[in-house]
């Protein structure tokens, strides 16, 4: 079985280089991806499958922010669950240019080396202030 912590580290390192392949490669085809409730990209439920994650989260982040980064503070392994404590930093891509500096926790649940479930917890108020976009769950 793959070392889940190493897979997560590779995914964050890839993201930092602008390479989503390491992350997308470990998402199960049926992954459930939960954004924090009421964060800008929350739609009221799980994104299902890698393509939904790309279209609903990753592409909008790239459009809404400049220099978006995830600064990992620590990675904790709990068997098939990996917890990441980090900070998001970026600048709004809108004319306001507001900075984002928000704490975040990511929880990844693995089955056979693939992420089956993801849960994010972050500062939803700050996202709304920086992006100017309130979430609209479906």
From the list 21, 29, 100, the residue with the least C-alpha distance to 61 is 100
Domain that holds residue 65: 4-131
Please give the tally of structural domains in the chain: 1
* Ramachandran sector of residue 96 (left: φ over 0; alpha: ψ -120 to 50; beta: rest): alpha
pLDDT of residue 83: 98
Is 137 contained in some domain?
Answer: no
Which pair of structure tokens corresponds to residue 64?
A: 């809404």
Is 100 contained in some domain?
Answer: yes
Is 26 contained in some domain?
Answer: yes
Is 43 contained in some domain?
Answer: yes
pLDDT of residue 36: 96
Look at residue 15 and tell me whether its pLDDT is greater than 60: yes
Give burial (CB, 10 Å; 0-12/13-18/19+) of 35. buried
Q: What is the CATH number of the domain that holds 30?
A: 3.10.450.50
Is 136 contained in some domain?
Answer: no
pLDDT of residue 1: 45
Is 138 contained in some domain?
Answer: no
Is 92 contained in some domain?
Answer: yes
Task: List pLDDT tens digits, range 31-64.
Answer: 999 999 999 899 999 999 999 999 999 999 999 9
């Amino acid at each position: 079985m793959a070392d889940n912590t190493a897979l997560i580290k590779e995914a964050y390192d890839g993201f930092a280089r602008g390479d989503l392949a390491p992350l997308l490669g470990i998402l199960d085809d049926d992954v459930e991806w939960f954004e924090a409730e009421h964060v800008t990209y929350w739609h009221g439920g799980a994104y299902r499958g890698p393509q939904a994650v790309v279209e609903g989260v990753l592409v909008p982040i790239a459009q809404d922010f400049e220099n978006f980064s995830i600064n990992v503070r620590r990675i904790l392994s709990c068997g098939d669950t990996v917890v990441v404590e980090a900070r998001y930093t970026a600048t709004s891509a809108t004319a306001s240019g507001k900075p984002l500096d928000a704490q975040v926790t990511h929880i990844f649940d693995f089955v056979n080396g693939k992420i089956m479930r993801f849960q994010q917890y972050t500062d939803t108020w700050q996202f709304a202030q920086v992006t100017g976009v309130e979430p609209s769950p479906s």
